Structure 1
Amino acid sequence: MSFLALFLGLGLVILLVLGVPIAFTLSILTLGGLYITDTNPIIFAQQLMAGTDVNSLLAIPGFILAGDLMGAGGLSRRLVRFASALFGHLTGGLSIATVLAGTFFGAISGSAPATTAAVGSIMIDELEKEGYRRDYAAALSTAVGPLGQMIPPSIPMVIWGVLAEQSIAKLFLAGVVPGLIASAGFILVSIHHARRNGIKPHRRATGRELLRATRDGFWALMAPVIILGGIYGGVFTPTEASMVGVVYGLVAGVFIYRELNWPTLYEAVLRSLKMSGMIVFIIATAYGYAYLIADEQIPQQIVDSLLALTHNPIVILLLINVFLLILGAVMDNVSAMVILSGVLTGIGQMIGMDPIQLGAMVVINFAVGMVTPPVGYSIFVASAISHLKIEDIARRLGPFMLVFVAVILLVTYVPAVTTWLPGLMG
């Protein structure tokens, strides 16, 4: 291994351990690498421009802002109320309603922490009132968060599509079936938990209550229909769909539900700008780092090292999944995808894996990282909402983690789970 490869690899680990932000870490290493190779540093500026001159990146701030506006505008609360009225009377009904509310909101926000915040802020207290332990309620709210990254529109899917140069629309579709399977698994966990702990069902909603919840939640339920229907109906691109989501969130929040005012609008926009700026900055700086990695043929060296261990694709994929799960627990998923995209796409080509299937596998692995300490943003959000310690919530995540592992294995070894729907697009 060359000195440049050691510098880029060890430097990355050392700077991240020291707590240097990932964007500055990548910038320092890129400039250092250019100095080592005696390359004109203007390359770094050119790569920064190349990293941001991608039309698809416009979808990221769009979907982030759309999700924030819909949450602040009252759409998330109405989704929860609708799900509770429809399923609350079943065994584990309120827990099931929490899962379905997370699924619905995941089809709006595209973000795991946002989904946990939207659902948990309402359902944790409600679940506790109905006899559920507060730590279970917080764990459930944590677990439904990653559904926001699996079910379209998904911000990590947009990022992977840009990095791996794959169709974002097909990547969106690749997450639908895994997301629904995870949702179904959580429902089974909810039913089992209610039966085991003697949780009595919530009273059945009257016809009038159900009608009111449906009418009140109609515009919230229509949001994913309009956004996703427009994408796959060929009306607009994913980037245009994100802007449609922003306009829809504004109209619904201001004129229909009348809960979006100037203070809440300001907070939502500011929060979205901070998140969008961070993500785009990381991607831009990563282009220079990726340029050096590709020039040094580091991805090919890693592929060759992996082949030296085994040629069995089943074992290779298993090792990759274990590695991604561990990495997702200790590193921000955007940073990890940016750094590893070249290596993972190279391995996928080597073993003949469908690139859409590979993208779904990577995103879902990192989505699971959102619920695992020390950098699981969803569990931090649930902890803040529930006022419980992270370790108390983590102890209750076991059954949900088993569901996630089962979904990852299905995505990895049963290609149709992720390729069937995208295949319908031709």
Structure 2
Amino acid sequence: MIAALFLLLFLMLFFAAPVFVALSFSSLSSFGLFSNMNLMAIVQRMLGGIDKFSLISVPFFILGANVMKNGGIANRILIWVQVWVGHLKGGLALSTEAACMFFGAVSGSSPATVVAIGGLMYPALLKSGYDNGFTTGLITSSGSVALLIPPSISAIIYGAVTGASVGALFMAGVGAGLLYGLLYLLYSVWYAHKKGIYQDQKTSWKERVKATKEAAWALGIPIIIMGGIYGGIFTPTEASGVSAVYAILVSMFVYKEMDLKKLVKTCIDSAETTAQVMMLLAAASAFGWILTVGQVPQALSKCLIHASVTKVTFLLLTNVILLVAGMFIDGSSAIVIMAPLLYPLAIGLGISPIHYGVIMVANAAIGMFTPPFGMNLFVAQPITNNTMVTIIKGVMPFVIISVIALIIITYVPSISLFLPQLVYGRRL
């Protein structure tokens, strides 16, 4: 049954079937052909996979990201960042990455970050002297940090699949996301110095105060989300609802860039995205259950024990597997497929489930712009009007930088675990 399961899955993916279709079809077919149990068991597992309290936050975070993108919040965040760092060497590139980090902290969506920030910054970067390759690569890759910095939809999905604490995953993502973004910032500064790109004029304190006042309502969103969670006021799930409502109120009644018609369209788009995520999770739940019934994790665990695989080697193998998977499927799909297999092995080797979750999410972040099928590559194409070959060439230096960040995150667990251990007061 397990051989048929993987064979059908790879065949479906090879013929470019949607991931949820590939997972569902392979699960139903292999189970129906090689098991005497009722097929309703698969349906029950699919429903059980999405019948989880933590997943309630997914539609709210998706809605919040789309409202911020369409309601003027993203634009004000970008302007605010630019008046503070735009005068530094490579300031415009720094503004782009910093804005992506900030927008990621309020949206949790990598493609939404590329659209919201990239559409505004691409022409400005070219005008300032950055070449097309660097500009395209920066815009395409910078949005990936949104998967690490909380709230992260990928972290929520990992928590739903494995049962790990979403709150702890959010906290762990702060350190990892800051490191990831910092390496991008350093590379941008080095590039600007190498190319002799001029910086913007330093803004006055009056302009900074003005920009801060205009962005104050937008800046309130991460304070509500992170302050509310860490302050014990509400859970990550409740924070998602509060942030979505707050974003709607600010967009409609403060900035007044979203009317009822625009809100309805935004809700419809968000519902479509939510449906795709939920179908993927439902199919992955059935797939993971069949793997468990077939005792695949147990068999892999025995193989690793007999092969004397160390923690260091296992983490290296995890990264290689997920990086290769990220070349062909999106990060969330890679997590829901691989987590049921790898998570039990990681726990057996004494790896922290929270640290392992951050590693998986970091791999998912890199997969968002890794050729040939990274989602951000296709999102960036209409924004930049470049060929796919040009975009792929542009992102390659950022792939290397991201892999360096991944290695540090993988083998220095304190970067991820410091904050959750500080809050929870125990080893995670």
TM-score by length of 2: 0.96
1:284 counterpart = 2:282: yes
Q: How many residues align?
A: 423
Partner of 2:66: 68
Partner of 1:230: 228
1:321-364 deviations in Å (ceiling 9; x for gaps): 11111111111222221111111112202211000000000111
Tell me how far apart the structure 1 counterparts of residues 381 and 133 of structure 2 sit (CA, whole Å): 9
Tell me how far apart the structure 2 counterparts of residues 267 and 248 of structure 1 sit (CA, whole Å): 18
Partner of 2:312: 314
Instruction: Give the stretch that moved more between structures: 114-123 or 391-400.
Output: 391-400
Instruction: Give the stretch that moved more between structures: 167-176 or 315-324.
Output: 315-324
Tell me how far apart the structure 2 counterparts of residues 190 and 31 of structure 1 sit (CA, whole Å): 48
Partner of 2:174: 176
| Letter of the structure 2 residue corresponding to residue 34 of structure 1 | F
1:15 pairs with one of 12, 16, 20: 12
The unaligned stretches of length 5 or more in structure 2 are none
| Letter of the structure 2 residue corresponding to residue 289 of structure 1 | F
1:99-119 deviations in Å (ceiling 9; x for gaps): 110111010110111111111
Partner of 1:79: 77
1:294 pairs with one of 270, 289, 292: 292
Tell me how far apart the structure 2 counterparts of residues 307 and 130 of structure 1 sit (CA, whole Å): 56
Shift of 1:29: 2.2
RMSD: 1.4
Secondary structure, aligned partner of 1:145 = helix
Q: 1:393 to 1:52 in 2, by over 3 A?
A: same
Secondary structure, aligned partner of 2:371 = coil
The unaligned stretches of length 5 or more in structure 1 are none
Partner of 1:92: 90
Contact map agreement 2:91 2:199 (CA 8 A) in 1: yes
1:33 pairs with one of 30, 33, 37: 30
Partner of 1:273: 271
Contact map agreement 2:136 2:395 (CA 8 A) in 1: no
List aligned pairs for 1:330-341, cutoff 5 A.
330-341=328-339
Q: 1:373 to 1:398 in 2, by over 3 A?
A: closer
Secondary structure, aligned partner of 2:386 = coil
Partner of 1:325: 323
Tell me how far apart the structure 1 counterparts of residues 149 and 355 of structure 2 sit (CA, whole Å): 15
Q: Give the fraction of aligned pairs with identical amino acids, expressed as a percent.
A: 35
Contact map agreement 2:2 2:30 (CA 8 A) in 1: no
Tell me how far apart the structure 1 counterparts of residues 415 and 385 of structure 2 sit (CA, whole Å): 38
1:201-237 deviations in Å (ceiling 9; x for gaps): 1111233322221111111111101111111111111
Shift of 1:26: 2.2
Tell me how far apart the structure 1 counterparts of residues 260 and 387 of structure 2 sit (CA, whole Å): 34
Partner of 2:115: 117
| Letter of the structure 2 residue corresponding to residue 406 of structure 1 | I
Contact map agreement 1:164 1:341 (CA 8 A) in 2: yes
Partner of 2:246: 248
1:63-101 deviations in Å (ceiling 9; x for gaps): 000011011111110111111111111110111111110
| Letter of the structure 2 residue corresponding to residue 6 of structure 1 | A
TM-score by length of 1: 0.96
Contact map agreement 1:170 1:422 (CA 8 A) in 2: yes
Tell me how far apart the structure 2 counterparts of residues 163 and 390 of structure 1 sit (CA, whole Å): 33
Contact map agreement 1:140 1:397 (CA 8 A) in 2: yes
Shift of 1:309: 4.5
1:197 pairs with one of 185, 195, 198: 195
